[in-house]
Amino acid sequence: MTAHADAQSALHAHLTTTAALSRVAGRLSWDQEAVMPPKGAEGRAAEAAAMAAVLHARQTDPRLGEWIAAIDTAALDPAAARDVALTAKSFARASKVPARLATALADLTTRAQGIWAEARANDDFAAFAPVLAQVIALKREEASALAAPGQTPYDALLQDFEPGANAADIAALFDRLRAGLAPLAAEAAEAGPAPALTGAYPHAAQMALAREVAGAFGYDWAAGRLDLAVHPFSSGGRGDARITTRVDEGDPFNCLYSTIHEVGHAVYEQNISADVFGRPSGDAASMGVHESQSRFFENAIGRSRPFAEWLAPKVRSAFGDAAPASPEAFFRTANRIAPDFIRTEADEVHYNLHVMMRFDLERAMIAGDLAPGDLAEAWRARAAADFGAPAPNDRLGALQDVHWSVGLFGYFPTYSLGNLYAAELEVAMRRDLPNMDDLMAEGDLAPLVAWMTTHVHRHGSVLPAPALIEAAIGRAPDEGALLAHLARKVRALA
60: part of which helix (H) or strand (E)?
Answer: none
Separation of alpha carbons 381 and 190, rounded Å? 24
Let me know the angle formed at the C-alpha of 91 by 89 and 96, rounded to the nearest 5 degrees. Answer: 100
Which of 406, 404, 408, 403 lies closest to 44 in space, CA to CA?
406
Kindly report the CA angle at 249 between 393 and 240, in degrees rounded to 5? 95
Amino acid letter, residue 223: A
Cβ burial of 163 (10 Å; 0-12, 13-18, 19+) is middle
Query: Is-contact 374 398, C-beta < 8 A?
Result: no
Can you tell me the distance from the alpha carbon of 136 to that of 133, in angstroms, rounded to the nearest whole number? Answer: 5
Backbone angles phi, psi at 430, to 5 degrees: -65, -30
Pairing of strands 226-228, 234-237: unpaired
Q: Which residues are catalytic?
A: 262
Whether the Cβ atoms of residue 332 and residue 347 lie closer than 8 Å to each other: no
* Sheet architecture: strand order including 226-228: 226-228, 240-245, 234-237
Whether 347 contacts 193, CB under 8 Å: no
Instruction: Tell me the CB-side half-sphere exposure of residue 185, using CA atoms within 13 A.
Output: 20
Instruction: Please provide the DSSP assignment of 146-209 as one string.
Output: HPPTT--HHHHHHTTTSTT--HHHHHHHHHHHHHHHHHHHHHHHHH-PPPPP-S---HHHHHHH
The Cβ of residue 18 has, within 10 Å, a number of other Cβ atoms equal to: 21
